[in-house]
Amino acid sequence: MLQQFNHLMDYIEAHLTEDISDTDISKIVGTSSYHFKRMFSYIAGMSLNEYIKNRRLSVANEELINGEKVTDVAYKYGYQSVEGFSRAFREWSGFLPSEVAKNKIQKTFPKFSFFIDIRGGKSMEFKIEKKEKFNVVGVSKRVPIQFEGVNQAILELAQSIKEKQRNEMHQLADLYPYQVLNVSYDFDEGYLEEKGHLTHMIGFATTKDNPFDDLEQITIEESLWAIFPVQGPFPSVMQETMARIYSEWLPSSDYELVDLPGISFTKHKETMENVYSEIWVPVKKKDSK
């Protein structure tokens, strides 16, 4: 996988002035662009789109210093107007393109290279399990993306559930784990920089269709799931495990992500210092080349 990562970085460098499509990405890395983008974000700490934008602006900076016109550089790197380019450039560098051209102000964003950095080995327990199509019935809302600590918006969603809704969800619950699931989907671009929102549903897994007007339903298609049991302080151990799944386990596994919601549940106790949770990641076997 590292070879494919570096191959894509080379491809991006050669095509900074062109559109780089999901099809291009899939061909180079040998896996779905969805899977690759999620892995890239966890490993690099930014989205692939953000990386490409930074590289374009870095090269644009060099060209402005070398005397290229602002208008020419703006359109060369895909901006529809000089104003849009100037705004993006100032957000990135802190200066207007005209100031950079006049005063020869240099800011760079280097090309990424990926290599293996082996640190203290820490095993990850998981199992691969096939689940038939099922529904999740519950309540949902758009919430801010947050990686550390308790997400206040999700807590407020949980507290908003009425007793009647809880009873209705329990009536429908007929699948493992027979308790509350947390389901996340429809992530905004840039989620690895904790920007934007996602849709979060609190509900129960069921084979039944939702008959209740005050509940919502989403359908999860049949898939393989990589299931990671987690034991420890909540929510920090879950958040740490999630980061390791994307940055360590996925790049070295024979599986790639499927575009389905991520699921987790926690068996809450009075104390949150040592609780059991599970993280479910939808996957499929990588195509053999």
What pLDDT shows up at residue 246? 83
- Which pLDDT tens digit goes with each residue over 154-199? 999 999 999 999 999 999 999 999 999 999 999 876 555 556 889 9
Amino acid 270: pLDDT: 66
pLDDT digits (tens, 9 = 90+) for 13-53: 999 999 999 899 989 988 888 888 888 887 787 889 999 99
Question: What pLDDT, on the 0 to 100 scale, is given for residue 278?
Answer: 95
Dump pLDDT digits (tens) for 228-268: 999 999 888 888 898 888 878 888 788 988 989 999 999 87
Its CATH class, for the domain covering 127-285, is: alpha beta
State whether the Cα torsion 265-267-269-272 is positive or negative: negative
116 pLDDT more than 60: no
Which of 49, 94, 93 minimizes the C-alpha distance to 193?
49
Q: pTM of the predicted model, to two decimals?
A: 0.71
Residue recorded with tokens 């809450």: 268
What are the beta bridge partners of residue 226? 128, 281
* The CATH homologous superfamily of the domain defined by 2-103: Homeodomain-like (1.10.10.60)
Mean pLDDT of the chain: 89
| Owner of token pair 């360590």 | 248
**Quick one: pLDDT at residue 207?**
97
8 Å CB contact between 130 and 223:
yes
pLDDT score of 283 more than 90: yes
Of 5-14, 191-200, 263-272, 280-289, the range with the highest mean pLDDT is 5-14
CA dist 212 and 170 (Å) reads 12
Domain ranges of the chain: 2-103, 127-285
Q: Which residues of 121-145 are buried (b: 16+ CB within 10 A; e: fewer)?
A: eeeeebeeeebeebbbbbbbeebeb
pLDDT digits (tens, 9 = 90+) for 71-98: 999 999 999 999 999 999 999 999 999 9
Query: Considering Cα of 95, then 97, then 102, then 103, what sign does the dihedral take?
Result: positive
197 in helix, strand or coil? Answer: strand
Q: What is the pLDDT of residues 257-271, one digit of tens each?
A: 898 999 999 987 767
Angle separating helix axes 33-44 and 2-14, nearest 10 degrees: 90
Residue 96 near residue 73 (C-beta atoms within 8 A): no
Q: What proportion of the chain, given as a percentage, has pLDDT over 70? A: 93
User: Which stretches within 94-126 are classed as H helix?
Assistant: 97-103
Domains 2-103 and 127-285 share a fold: no
The residue type of 22 is D
Looking at beta carbons, which pairs linking 55-59 to residues 24 or more positions away fall under 8 Å?
55/12, 55/13, 55/16, 55/109, 55/111, 56/16, 56/17, 57/88, 57/89, 57/92, 57/93, 57/109, 58/107, 58/108, 58/109, 58/110, 59/16
